[in-house]
Chain A
Amino acid sequence: MATTHSLTPAMQRQRSARMRRNMLYLVLLGLALLAPLAIYPVFLMKVLCFALFACAFNLLLGFAGLLSFGHAAFLATGGYFTGIMLSSYPGLTPEAGILIGTLAAVVLGTFFGVLSIRRQGIYFAMVTLALAQMVYFFFIQAPFTGGEDGLHGVPRGELFGLISLSDNLPMYYFVLTVFVIGFAIIQRTVHSPFGQVLKAIRENEPRAVSLGYNVDAYKLVAFVISAGLAGLAGSTKTVVFQLASLTDAHWHMSGEVILMTLLGGVGTLFGPVVGAGLVVSLQTQLAQSPIGNWVSVILGAIFVICVLSFRSGIVGEIQKLVRKNFK
């Protein structure tokens, strides 16, 4: 037994779990690369943008236990800033525009975070909602947002000044790249020591405080990352659809992202992606069907059903099932 590299059973389990996870990531990435052959790419891009938005939101709710009811503000801020920059400076490349939009969301997120982070639970939800309302009013009245008309004709431009994004396929692969980067940031954050502390705070804040962690600072960083990624989603969305509008800033959007996360599974990495995919497909399909007028009623019903009997969400329930049957 002297020289063995043998692993303890626990380490082995961990390693094989990581292998399985990496396999899963590879398979999913492969599917995402092939998807535009079968599915309409613009629809896929919409799903990816909202999936990133929901993942960003979930970082806060699922891993730090903070329910923000004002995330629409970051989505819209990212979108508007990118739109304004790309429209007014034709020389600007799309990735630079997206970066600026994301930075704007980070700045706003820091401001929101400082004001709200010391509140918990329902207070936190209400404060973020009120702050987001102020942002909404600002966007209505600001001269550069086009008010009710929105901001139109944002050029998609050329990536790094080289690759034209005007066709849907290159655009799709760019959006997919952005999504993968955003997702990787979240994945790394969650699995880092920082993420572990966040979870500890979520489970028992007083204990985390007594262990000597600066709880507010941890929460603030989580909030700013979440806001920045939500802004990234909004910026990318503006480049894809070439417009930014008030819909993204309205508090209904903050409600929608909660629904996506809840439906897919709060606190799971893939839950928000699945939830976003489902909600976006539902909206797209239903809007064109005879019962199109009932979209909001159906979304409301899903909300109620999720809360009543489906709280782990789709991915959460699947994980439970797997754990029960294969361990």
Chain B
Amino acid sequence: MTIIFGVPLAVFMGQLMLGLINGAFYALLSLGLAVIFGLLKIINFAHGAQYMLGAFVAMLALEYLGINYWAALLLVPLVVGTLGVVIERLILRRIAHLDHLYGLLLTYGLALILEGTLINIFGVSGSSYPTPEALQGGLNLGFMFLPTYRAWVLVAALVVCGGTWFIIERTRLGAYLRAGTENPALMQAFGVNVPQLITLTYGFGVALAAFAGVLAAPLYPVSPTMGSSLLIVVFAVVVIGGMGSILGAIITGLAMGLIEGLTKVYYPEAANTVIFLVMILVLLLRPAGLFGKEA
């Protein structure tokens, strides 16, 4: 058996694979944060709660309305994204002219409300969401047994990340978005409805979080607290990638998944800490993040 750094090659490959799948989650979540930060300049502290809401709505929809996984994958991001639109319209817009730190505090408050309410209604144990029938079972990759559903998560997350990158970097809508990020006043002068663009962007970022939530529902127990611990890690990913950088968020997300995966093999005790260590190193060497522009 080939040995890599004291670990059999098969185990090593398997761990890389798992790291990549986790990385896909990080990428999806940090992408949403980056999109929102790009235009609104706020750190969306409610992102974890909105991710959790995605999983919850999918579960409730299955339980009470009989909406299956595939439909939920489309519908839930729409529903939760609409909620995001409402939040932006009713609340975030009022503080748009203020220091952006207020946005962080406001969304933190929203996250507390969302989580606390769901805990009181549903408890914290959570419930399980069944893996859709077509994705049950597993694939034998030769070096590991990979549950089909995890393979699907990887593919779905990468497709959505790629699609988002394409829309933003290669389409007219994306061009407006980027221009709005650089100079909103000018865009307004050119007749682009910037407030509407902002609303839709926030809705889209929230929908991405909800999409990640639906993807996660069959993997982890669906509980009101599932988002809050993940959120802090995703923040670190965004900081490492460079705040607001779309490509940075995606690549860093995947890379951090890999690094974390390898840490779990060689020094598992540090698995939760390694991303923060990377963050500190990056900030010392490149203060604006790997893909960020120096302000």
Give the number of residues in B that approach A within 8 Å (Cβ atoms).
Answer: 43
The complex places the Cα of A221 from the Cα of B55 at a distance, in Å, of 45
Inter-subunit contact B236/A294 (CB<8 Å):
no
Give the number of residues in A that approach B within 8 Å (Cβ atoms).
Answer: 36
Residues of B within 8 A of A (CB): 37, 41-43, 91, 94-95, 98-102, 104-106, 108-117, 119-120, 232, 235-236, 238-239, 243, 269, 272-273, 276-277, 279-280, 283-284, 287
28 A–B contacts from the bound complex (CB under 8 Å): A67-B104, A119-B283, A122-B42, A122-B100, A122-B101, A122-B104, A123-B243, A123-B287, A127-B279, A130-B276, A131-B276, A133-B232, A133-B236, A133-B273, A137-B273, A251-B232, A293-B119, A294-B120, A296-B112, A297-B113, A299-B112, A300-B109, A300-B116, A304-B106, A306-B105, A306-B109, A307-B102, A308-B91
Inter-subunit contact B276/A134 (CB<8 Å):
yes
Q: Which residue of B lies closest to A298 (CB)?
A: B116
Residues of A within 8 A of B (CB): 67, 115, 118-119, 121-123, 125-127, 129-131, 133-134, 137, 141, 251, 255, 258, 262, 293-297, 299-304, 306-308, 311
- A123: B residues at CB distance < 8 A: 239, 243, 287
Most chain A CB inside 10 Å of its own CB: which residue of B112, B117, B236 = B112
Q: Chain B's interface: helix, strand, loop or mixed, by majority? A: helix
- A137: B residues at CB distance < 8 A: 272-273
- B276: A residues at CB distance < 8 A: 130-131, 133-134
The complex places the Cα of A286 from the Cα of B105 at a distance, in Å, of 23
- B287: A residues at CB distance < 8 A: 118-119, 123
- A122: B residues at CB distance < 8 A: 37, 41-43, 100-101, 104, 243
A114 to chain B, nearest CB (A): 10
Inter-subunit contact B239/A121 (CB<8 Å):
no
The complex places the Cα of A141 from the Cα of B279 at a distance, in Å, of 21
- A258: B residues at CB distance < 8 A: 105, 108
Q: Chain A's interface: helix, strand, loop or mixed, by majority? A: helix
- B114: A residues at CB distance < 8 A: 300
B43 to chain A, nearest CB (A): 5
Inter-subunit contact B106/A131 (CB<8 Å):
no
Inter-subunit contact A129/B272 (CB<8 Å):
no
Q: Which residue of A lies closest to B99 (CB)?
A: A121
A100 to chain B, nearest CB (A): 26
Inter-subunit contact B120/A126 (CB<8 Å):
no
A164 to chain B, nearest CB (A): 41
Inter-subunit contact A303/B236 (CB<8 Å):
no
Given contacts A125-B101, A297-B117, A308-B91, contact A303 B108 (CB under 8 A): yes
